[in-house]
Structure 1
Amino acid sequence: MRIDTMSVVVARIEDGVLLMEINNPPVNALSQPVRAGLVEALERLAADDTLRGGVIAGAGGTFIAGADIKEFGKPPAPPLLPDVLAAIEACPKPVVAALQGAALGGGLELALACDARVAQAGTVLGLPEVALGIIPGAGGTQRLPRLTGVSTALRLIGTGERLSAEAAKALGIVDEVAPDAVSAAIACRPGKRPVSKLPVPAEAADVIAKAEAAALKAGKSRPAVMEAIAAVKAAATLPFAEGLAQERDAFLNLRTSPEAAALRHMFFAEREAVRLPAALRAKPRRVETVAVIGAGTMGRGIAQSALEAGLTVILYDLNAELLATAGEALRTALAERAAAGKIAADLAGNARLVLARTWADIVPADLVIEAVFEDLAVKQEVFRQIDAHARLGAVLATNTSYLDVDVIAAATARPQDVLGLHFFSPANVMKLLEVVRGAHSAPDLAATGMEFGKHLKKLPVLCGNGFGFIGNRIYNAYRTQCEYMLEDGAWPEDIDTALETFGFAMGPFAVADLSGLDIAWRMRAAQAAMRDARKRYVPVLDHLCEQGRFGRKSGAGYYTYAEGRRSAGTDDTVRSIIEAASAARGLTRRTLAPEIIQRRSLAAMVNEAALLLAGGIAQRASDIDVVLVQGYGFPRFAGGPVYWARTQDRTTLERDLDIIAAATGFGFERGPLDLLLTESAP
């Protein structure tokens, strides 16, 4: 018998149990109407003597994927989540959580307040709040340690780790894993046993200290991680009510911090990035079999990503030895991933991997991805062969990082079937995928590329066709400005340290050494004939390569690498090359403060971002932030270059652009800052 139907919480009686089903699609976020509906349903449960207990479940195959992030930054509307959890604990009858799909953030906090938890196989559980610059704010840091112990709670909350239903049961978070969580929860007959009344299990101090150190390292000692650690440790020393109050204070302070605002921006930007504009929405082409041309590092990574996504892969290379090595490496990698529980066991089989040495073998492919050397002539010849052998209607994709997709497509008789799929190395690890539309790409190609990226569990971003697309074009402007600063007076370690202090994963010169200086050197040599002599050009990298200093792989680049360890600073050889470059340009070297290095570097990114947006290479400003954060080590907690620009004083930002304009000289193009700063957010 149904007793109530509300817009977001449907309450009905089954077997003497009040089933409270949240219906707030798409993820049953804990918005104010959901909270109010749960409190009302709990009041009815408490008042009805014919009911023996209650079950909280979610409609649509999902329990609760977290709080309603759109409410952040707005005045809180009662009842708050702690009020709902208090009502669950105060209810005189036991309440069971039936977990399906996802129980994340506030959803898991709500489940922890229940008297028992039944999870359906396939459910994902976690408290990922640190990823948004906050901590659990409704008792997660106080209840979880009472079930798992402090050290495990530090790991789970401090890193935002997600757990399977089975792993959660092994840790004591879930009481039962069942094929049908709702039915099992209704059948469950627990006593009234609030987690808040349980003691925190005793643990050795060194075990807790080790877990704390690991969480700090994983979270780079960001404020939210440090507050999460403090709150979890307080659970073992403070009464529950005091620990709860301390957690709530920390949560409210963090929620209004600049870092949390930047992380919320990234959350929405990434969600928006995968959406195509209305004009490009179309039915994607079917992709079940993928041919990858080239069995080198990139081709191998793309092949692994496709295999892990359950697709059939044809890996082609003329080099029999390289092909065999790649095949063996892929089989080993998949087996190891399956053994570690990273992928399903059935994805580790060999049946879906075909090693091919003749072009005719690519005929079954729905999608052909070229992943050969970054040379236009080489790629054009590969595309002539692909055009001659791929079936009609197949999507033909180039993995180029910089080259013109339209020029590559012109090597075929079907440019309408060609697009760019720029994977980032290592392709089996990096989430970012730039999907590049050519001038002649058919309307359904963008949809196909974006859907393919999502199927590979990557974050696809749509780009227009232009040198370097979004990421490499901005990174090129950034790196160039950093090279100007070498001539102006900074040493590589000054620049790297300043930018790593800002939050970059690595500075540009450390990155260059890691990637290999010879790659950029060859590209510069190929473009030398087209370089305008009036434009500023820094020859430092060229001179390093001329001396055989190609970076980490050769033992020396900007830095030296004795026994594989990077030197703290640059040696006399590098400094003499830089000093000679400064003298040749007639510059008097001067020390550059870290803030100046940071602002010049970021201003170069911002200016290029404005040009990209104006030129239609980026379809929205927030996409630029997604690309730079996901692919280039821009600190997520700073929100990306566009978000950073929008938080700066306009006058100061204009002055920064004046400085980089003067440093660049001839050929500098100033981006339309107004467009970048005023484009509406997603």
Structure 2
Amino acid sequence: MLVTYELVGDFGVITINNPPVNALSQKVREGVMSAITNAQTDNSKAIVLICEGRTFVAGADIKEFGKPPMAPSLPEVNEAIESSAKPVIAALHGTALGGGFELALSCHYRCALNTAAVGLPEVNLGILPGAGGTQRLPRLVGVETALDVITSGKRVAAPKALELGMIDRVVEEPLQDSALAYAQSLLEEGAPLRRVRDLEVPAAESDADVFEVWRKNMAKRRRGQVAPQKIVDCVEAAVSKPFEDGLQFERASFVECVGSDQAAAMRHMFFAERKAAVVEDLNENAKAKPINRVGIIGAGTMGGGIAMTFANAGIPVTLLELNQEALDRGLAMISKNYGITVSKGKMSQEVADKRQALITGSTSYDSLADVDLVIEAVFESMDVKRQVFGELDRVCKPGAILASNTSYLDVNEIAACTSRPQDVVGLHFFSPANVMRLLEVVRADATSEDVIATSMALGKKIGKVPVLARVCYGFIGNRMLRPYAREAQLSMIEGASPEQIDGVLTRFGMAMGPLAVGDLAGLDIGYKARQALTPEQKGDPRSYCIADALVEMGRLGQKSGAGYYRYDPETRARSSDPEVLEVIEAQARAHGVQRRTMTDQEILDRHLMALINEGFHILGEGIAQRPSDIDVVYVNGYGFPVFRGGPMFTASQMGLREVYDCICALRDKTGADYWQPAPLLEELALEGKTLDSWSADKG
């Protein structure tokens, strides 16, 4: 039985048992509705709603996503609970999220274990709470707190939830006994039948200006997303409308969001992130090794960020540098970063001290003799990597995993520097490593299955989204970045300004435009890398001549105060610079390019098609396991808007034939070989197939 009802003394106990997360399926909703109805006529004096297993209801049933609703709806169940003539007490453990917390909000009282957490994360799926969450929560906690909780989608730990008024009591285990004792105390106190719908939103927080501030806030924090703005509208309705009217407004907004392209894209990303951690051809006997201590070589920005990532997960780290001065500098930067986090109120000093204590420094490779995993995060040079891995091969214990954080280089060549290539893997973190969620796990030809299993499991343990890639130049993300960056440069020399290019892409939803990103990273980085390449390796001079000219003028980007833009020395505020246009026009003349007016649509097409076409090459070559893995990489590592679902999802939504025709049109217009459609794209488009059908046939 998914839902049971029994009398325990004077109390009716409704128990949900729908593993693994007690999702609110139609059968569960039906069972709860029936139990509430039956409880109205029996001898119970109060009702406790509780769940078996590891958690209270953790949300809607994802199997019902995108399908027609089935009665009873969650709003109908919630209305029945709230209308009960007997008090209903929700007993929470684990996570009460989304519809699960809305279910709890419809109860008259809520108690929770100290370890529980509550929240309304629907915004992360491109939707909003649709069963009263935007109407009930403001009545309990006020407008500002409700907006913060709902628009962030964050989980609120039980002690904090008690402080805010989201729950009424924190209790000890065993939960059912404590919940029954709490129900008894409510009866003895003569506690009122507190229906949240009858409460008034605190008047002090109903000022219309509050909602305008939040709309502007959401326009910045969740730029381009519809659901956050709808959430503000719904919370405003909780203030301005009667409860029933507010519910109707919320439901209409919910239905609108559920059917939107943004919700489809964000649902896709929800499933894609979970699928990415699954290795399709991994032997069932492969086992993840325990990782109890990690070594990291290089205490620079990347190495320090990686060290913090492991320390934050409770894993001790030995941080290695060549000399004490560099090591001290790296450890000081880590200390500074933790201090900033503490100053912002995001971590207590005690927690920061404990985490920092897990990081110890060393200048001797011998200190890595007992680590289970070592990650190299040194300069991106194969000669330097060879030297490092030769030392690791000498000092590390048998079975230790030797990982490179390389962004581009051949992991097979790195593995060949050791006597144990089966233990070598790429672990490509993204900067800042303690913040960015993406982890590319690069499988070399000889990498053992146990090492792959360990790397994927470890990625999840340290809070990353691991994506498996095979070896090629740049793996998934940076390989796709090259044609994208090429189109920014070519669009610029052919007629567009930096402002137009970046504006088109940020309006599409990218976190930053490609030229602003270049200024942030430093134009000298690419310049130095190009100096080591042959003319053939560099490619079309038009795709780098402007960047090289700017560097040779001393315009390195933000760090020098000028790159593609000029930057205020105090605020780093960006502004246009006529001098850059002069450089662009001079380079165009030097390379025989007749500049012209470019439309925003052409700029968008060129950048998107560059990403998509390269994505199809990567799929066809077997570098990525599945199309959605590419989407996970680009959304989590490269600022692609989550509400667009990633490059490959975008291609699917457009239709592969339309994508193919667009790329062919760019090829015919430019005459460039690099606009030849990827073989896999051409095959699927001409045969009328989809990426979904290709994935099904492949799997």
TM-score by length of 1: 0.95
Provide closer, same or farther for how the CA distance between residues 221 and 622 of structure 1 changes in structure 2, counting only shifts above 3 A: closer
CA distance in 2: counterparts of 1:529 and 1:219, whole angstroms: 42
Task: Tell me the matched-pair count.
Answer: 674
Structure 2 residue identity aligned to 1:38: V
Deviation at 1:577, TM superposition (A): 2.6
2:282 maps to amino acid: A
Q: Where do 1:182-221 residues align within 5 Å?
A: 182-189=176-183, 190=186, 191-204=192-205, 205=207, 206=209, 209-220=212-223
What do residues 273-292 of structure 1 show as CA deviations (whole Å, max 9, x unaligned)? 11222534521111010000
Alpha carbons 2:136, 2:197 under 8 Å: kept: yes
C-alpha change, 1:559 and 1:589, in structure 2 (3 Å) is same
Counterpart residue number, 2:126: 133
CA distance in 2, matches of 1:15, 1:449: 51
User: How far, CA to CA, are the matches of 1:162 and 1:121 in structure 2?
Assistant: 14
Report the secondary structure of 2:40's partner residue: helix
Query: 1:159–1:219: 8 Å Cα contact kept in structure 2?
Result: no
Cα pair 2:460 2:466 within 8 Å, conserved: yes
Aligned residue in 1 for 2:687: none
Q: Distance in 2 between matches of 1:661 and 1:441?
A: 39
- Residue by residue over 1:312-353, the C-alpha shift from the partner in whole angstroms, topping out at 9 and shown as x without a partner, is 100000121121122233345446656835479456325422
CA contact under 8 A between 1:154 and 1:232: conserved in structure 2? yes
Q: Contact conserved, 1:534 with 1:666, CA < 8 A, in 2?
A: no
Stretches of structure 2 lacking an aligned partner (at least 5 in a row)? 187-191, 685-689
Partner in structure 1 of residue 677 of structure 2:
670
Match in the other structure for 1:3: none
Percent identity of the aligned residues?
Answer: 45
Which residue is 2:361 aligned to? 355
Shifted more, 68-77 versus 403-412: the winner is 68-77
For the 8 Å contact 1:600–1:656, the answer to whether it is kept is: no
Instruction: State the SS of the aligned residue for 2:478.
Output: helix
Q: Does 1:407 align with 2:413?
A: yes
In 2, the alpha carbon distance for the partners of 1:530 and 1:315 equals 39
Letter aligned with residue 493 of structure 1: E
The offset of 1:44, in angstroms, is: 2.0
For 1:580-591, list aligned pairs within 5 A. 580-591=586-597
SS of corresponding position for 2:533: helix
Counterpart CA distance in 2 for 1:639 and 1:495 is 21
CA distance in 1, matches of 2:539, 2:139: 69
The 2-side partners of 1:649 and 1:221 are apart by: 23
Paired residues of 2:664 and 2:675 also in contact (CA < 8 A): no
- Deviation per CA, 1:475-496: give whole Å up to 9, x if none: 1111112212112211111110
- CA–CA separation in structure 2 for the residues paired with 1:596 and 1:656: 10
Q: Which amino acid aligns with 1:42?
A: I
* Distance across 2 between alignment mates of 1:485 and 1:87: 60
Q: 1:164 aligns with which of 141, 146, 157?
A: 157
Residue in 1 that maps onto 2:264:
261
* Partner residue, 2:40: 46
Q: Which amino acid aligns with 1:259?
A: Q
Stretch deviating more after TM superposition (603-612 or 518-527): 518-527
Gap change, CA 1:280 and 1:594, over 3 Å in 2: farther
**Structure 1 spans left out of the alignment, 5+ residues:** 1-5
Mapped contact 1:307–1:347 kept (Cα < 8 A):
no
Matches within 5 A, 1:277-316: 277-281=280-284, 282-316=286-320
* Correspondent of 1:32 among 20, 23, 26: 26
Contact 1:492 1:570 in 2 (8 A): no
Are residue 679 (structure 1) and residue 694 (structure 2) matched? yes
C-alpha distance in 1, partners of 2:653/2:350?
Answer: 47
Tell me what 2:226 maps to: 223
The answer to whether the 8 A contact 1:338-1:348 is kept is no
How far off its partner does 1:133 sit?
Answer: 1.4
Paired amino acid for 1:203:
A
The Cα shift of 1:591 comes to 1.3
Structure 1, 344-353 or 267-276: larger mean CA deviation: 344-353
Output the amino acid matched with 1:226: Q
Task: Determine the C-alpha separation between the residues in 1 that align with 2:473 and 2:418.
Answer: 20
In 2, are the aligned partners of 1:493 and 1:568 still within 8 Å (CA)?
no
- Give the equivalent residue in structure 2 for 1:14: 8
Residue 429 of structure 1, CA deviation? 0.4
Does the 8 Å contact 1:384/1:411 carry over to 2? yes
Amino acid in the other structure paired with 2:623: I
Counterpart in the other structure of 2:576: 569
Which residue of structure 1 lines up, in the alignment, with residue 279 of structure 2? 276
Distance 2:417 2:514 in 1: 35
Residue 432 (structure 2) pairs with residue 417 (structure 1): no
Counterpart of 1:348, as a letter, is D
Task: Look up the SS of the partner of 2:467 in the other structure.
Answer: strand
Which residue does 1:321 correspond to in 2?
325
The one-character-per-residue Cα deviations of 1:20-71 (angstroms, maximum 9, x if unpaired) are: 222222221111111111111112212212x122211222221111112331
Q: Take 2:372 and 2:215, find their aligned partners in 1: how far apart are those partners?
A: 48
1:244 correspondence with 2:247: yes
In the TM superposition, what is the alpha-carbon distance from 1:569 to its structure 2 partner? 2.2
* Equivalent in the alignment of 1:114: 107
Q: Per-residue displacement from partner, 1:490-541 (whole Å, max 9, x unpaired)?
A: 1111110000010001000000100111111122222235527678644111
RMSD: 2.1
1:613 and 1:621 in contact (8 A); partners too:
yes
Tell me the distance in 2 between the aligned counterparts of 1:102 and 1:344: 26
- Cα pair distance change 1:450/1:567, threshold 3 Å: same
Return the alpha-carbon distance in structure 2 between the equivalents of residues 404 and 384 of structure 1.
16
Say if 1:330 and 1:651 are closer, same or farther in 2 by CA, change over 3 A: closer
* 328-337 vs 116-125, greater mean Cα deviation: 328-337
Aligned-pair CA distance for 1:455: 1.0
Give distance in 2, aligned partners of 1:19 and 1:509: 61
Residues 155, 214 of structure 1: 8 Å contact kept: no
Tell me if the contact between 2:171 and 2:179 (Cα under 8 Å) persists in the aligned partners: no
Partners in 1 of 2:224 and 2:237 — Cα distance?
Answer: 18
Q: Deviations over 1:81-118 (max 9, x none)?
A: 01110110122211111111111111111100001001
Cα 1:646–1:344 shift into 2, 3 Å: farther
Question: SS where residue 58 of structure 2 aligns?
Answer: coil
8 Å contact kept, 2:406–2:428: yes
Shift of 1:184: 2.1
- CA drift at 1:450: 0.8
Partner Cα distance (1:616, 1:273) in 2: 15
| Higher alpha-carbon deviation: 604-613 or 522-531 | 522-531
> Is the CA contact (8 Å cut-off) linking 2:664 and 2:677 kept in structure 1?
no
Shift of 1:422: 0.3
Q: Per-residue displacement from partner, 1:622-657 (whole Å, max 9, x unpaired)?
A: 000010000000011011011111111444322321
What is the CA–CA distance in structure 2 between the aligned matches of 1:80 and 1:467, rounded to whole Å?
51
Determine helix, strand or coil for the equivalent of 2:695.
coil
1:330 aligns with 2:323: no
Residue 637 of structure 1 aligns with an amino acid whose one-letter code is F
Question: 2:68 & 2:372 partners in 1: Cα distance?
Answer: 51
Question: Which of 41, 47, 54 matches 1:61?
Answer: 54
Q: Secondary structure at the match of 1:565?
A: coil
Question: Secondary structure, in 3 states, of the residue corresponding to 1:56?
Answer: strand
Structure 2 distance, partners of 1:567, 1:337, is 26
Q: Does the CA contact (< 8 Å) of 2:211 and 2:232 recur in 1?
A: no
Q: 8 Å contact 2:468–2:624 — kept in the other structure?
A: yes
Between the aligned partners of 1:101 and 1:395, the Cα distance in structure 2 is: 34
> Are 1:97 and 1:118, in contact at CA under 8 Å, matched by a contact in 2?
yes
Q: TM-score, normalised by structure 2?
A: 0.92
Residue 69 of structure 1 aligns with an amino acid whose one-letter code is I
Partner of 2:437: 431
Equivalent in 232, 237, 243 of residue 234 of structure 1: 237
What per-residue deviation string (whole Å, max 9, x for no partner) do you get for residues 193-220 of structure 1? 1111111111152555545543443232
SS of 1:519 mapped into structure 2:
helix
